[in-house]
Structure 1
Amino acid sequence: MNAPGKVYLIPTVLSADALYSIPAYVTPIVKQLRVFYVENERTARRYLKALDRSIVIDDLRLLLMHENHPPDLALAKKLLLEGTDIGVISEAGCPAIADPGHLIVQVAHSIDAPVIPMIGPNSILLALMASGMNGQNFQFVGYLPIKSPERGKMIRELEEISGKKNQTQLFIETPYRNNPMMRDILDNCKDDTQVCIAADITAPTEYIKTKTVKEWKTAIPEIHKKPAIFLLYAAEII
């Protein structure tokens, strides 16, 4: 019986202008692969061509995995058992974090197929690094509720947890709802709670600022349609 194929977790850029953030060792691996699970086919095609123009996209098998199109796990298992290596590419950043790539990883582990995470940009860690908040105790909670009453309640709960546990809280929002998210944060948090906005990370327009709620209220930034991460910290920053 053949050894199972490998799953390569391939990082991609957070910004179209940030190919420099991808380590050089990624490209040779990508050039060896013919099957990829991708969150967005158009974005993946563009990224692969940016890595190396000699890659013939039409020779590749791009299989979708996103919220409205779960990955074909039976196919992934079949390919791996046949000895086929698989690449996993997120819409942005590192796969299997806040995207469905983890499901392919689960399949790999179920049949003892090797899983190889590759170094690359991750917006969660980059935002946390630059925030000045607690990097030893933090929680990423993904998306908050969309509607303001429920979202406001969640924000207050996260603020309370942050204060009690000395824990940084990280969350995201669909870019076109960033401004309402920021308003809900300011409406529901205490004046001395720290809030960091990390937007357009690695892009020329990168914006990362940490201020108290009281300070943010005097100058709310325009972050509409900008990829952003919000960080909240209710403990004191020295």
Structure 2
Amino acid sequence: MQRQSSFKNNDVGTLYLVPTPIGNLEDITLRAKRILTEADYIAAEDTRTSGILLEKIGVHNHMISFHKYNSKQRAPELIQLLQEGKTIAEISDAGMPVISDPGYILVKECIKHDIPVVSLPGPSAFATALIASGFDAQPFTYWGFLPRKASEQVPYFEQMNEFKGTSIFYEAPHRLKKTLKNLATVLDSDRQIALARELTKIHEEYLRGSITEINEYFAENDPRGEFVVLISPNTQESSQLSWDELVKSVAQLVADGKSKKDAIKQVAKENKVSKNELYDKYHQG
């Protein structure tokens, strides 16, 4: 067991995880600004983006590049500085460090070397979108950025489809249309989703409706800005049929002329079960 105190350890430095605004600069806290000002170094995911922010809030401390491509090599260097008594503030491009950000690698190393880690509260895009979505906030699952390939996204969507809480993920504007069309192959057409974009900025916007309505909207409108996608909880009861009965239903559809793939997809969707699991059960038979 490890016990950590938030009080300063004079033998080593402290790693501060400092949230930055996701859009509106007024969301920076007094404490966050103070820590950024007092830190010996600021480990930034993108020094160019962070440099603009820090300039605007009047912070001019030395920045060290720390992103997913150099994190494993850079972490030992930062640990060495912390062991020498230096204070480091780690920031993401926007929002909370560690969330969709390589900060967890540095946190794990700090814990391993008994270096204090202090997390500051602050803005997060998925939490901001969740509480305004109109969906139940308890429970929820945050998936971050999904794989880009449609075939790799489907297993995630199947889990979201069955989840009794709200599911949340991020998507870039140039991939949004394809991702939503792929999502529609798994969700019922009337399943409610919500999209939030440009949160806390001038063009902040929420889109709420069925998966069909949202796809129809984007058939005529091009996505702009980074999106938070939220899927409403599955409130329907799962199938009462046994796996044997479900497999027989698939077999009957195949006998009637449907392809195995389409038959499995139809039965899984109608009975609210995993398509992949039904596929395995069918082929085990």
TM-score, with structure 1 as normaliser: 0.86
Counterpart of 2:71 in 1: which secondary structure? coil
Farther-moved stretch of structure 1 (99-108 vs 171-180)? 171-180
* In structure 2, C-alpha distance between the alignment counterparts of 1:128 and 1:136, rounded to whole Å: 10
Counterpart contact for 2:95–2:125, Cα < 8 Å: yes
Counterpart of 1:136 in 2: which secondary structure? coil
* In structure 2, C-alpha distance between the alignment counterparts of 1:128 and 1:8, rounded to whole Å: 26
Higher relative contact order (CA 8 A, sep 6+): 1
Give the counterpart letter for 1:69 in structure 2: N
* 1:198-227 alpha-carbon deviations (Å, 9 max, x no partner): 111111111123322233244237463411
How many residues of Structure 1 are paired with residues of Structure 2 in the alignment? 226
Counterpart contact for 1:152–1:185, Cα < 8 Å: yes
Counterpart contact for 1:89–1:95, Cα < 8 Å: yes
Give the counterpart letter for 1:132 in structure 2: G
Structure 1 residue runs of 4 or more that deviate by more than 6 Å after TM superposition? none
* In structure 1, C-alpha distance between the alignment counterparts of 2:28 and 2:124, rounded to whole Å: 11
The aligned residue for residue 102 of structure 1 is 104
Which aligned pairs between 1:182-201 and structure 2 lie closer than 5 A? 182-201=180-199
Q: 2:12 aligns with which of 4, 10, 15?
A: 4
- Answer 1 or 2: which has greater strand percent: 1
Counterpart contact for 1:12–1:94, Cα < 8 Å: yes
- Structure 1 unaligned blocks of 5 or more: none
The aligned residue for residue 60 of structure 2 is 56
Counterpart contact for 2:177–2:215, Cα < 8 Å: no
Q: 1:214 aligns with which of 181, 206, 212?
A: 212
User: Whose Rg is larger?
Assistant: 2
Q: What is the percentage of aligned positions where both structures have the same residue?
A: 26
* In structure 2, C-alpha distance between the alignment counterparts of 1:175 and 1:81, rounded to whole Å: 42
Give the counterpart letter for 1:190 in structure 2: D
Farther-moved stretch of structure 1 (170-179 vs 127-136)? 170-179
1:67 matched to 2:65? The reply is no
CA RMSD in angstroms comes to: 2.2
- Answer 1 or 2: which has greater helix percent: 2
Give the counterpart letter for 1:35 in structure 2: Y
* 1:30-56 alpha-carbon deviations (Å, 9 max, x no partner): 11113121110101111111111xx43
* In structure 1, C-alpha distance between the alignment counterparts of 2:224 and 2:46, rounded to whole Å: 18
Q: 1:151 aligns with which of 127, 150, 153?
A: 153
- Structure 2 unaligned blocks of 5 or more: 1-8, 237-285
1:29 matched to 2:27? The reply is no
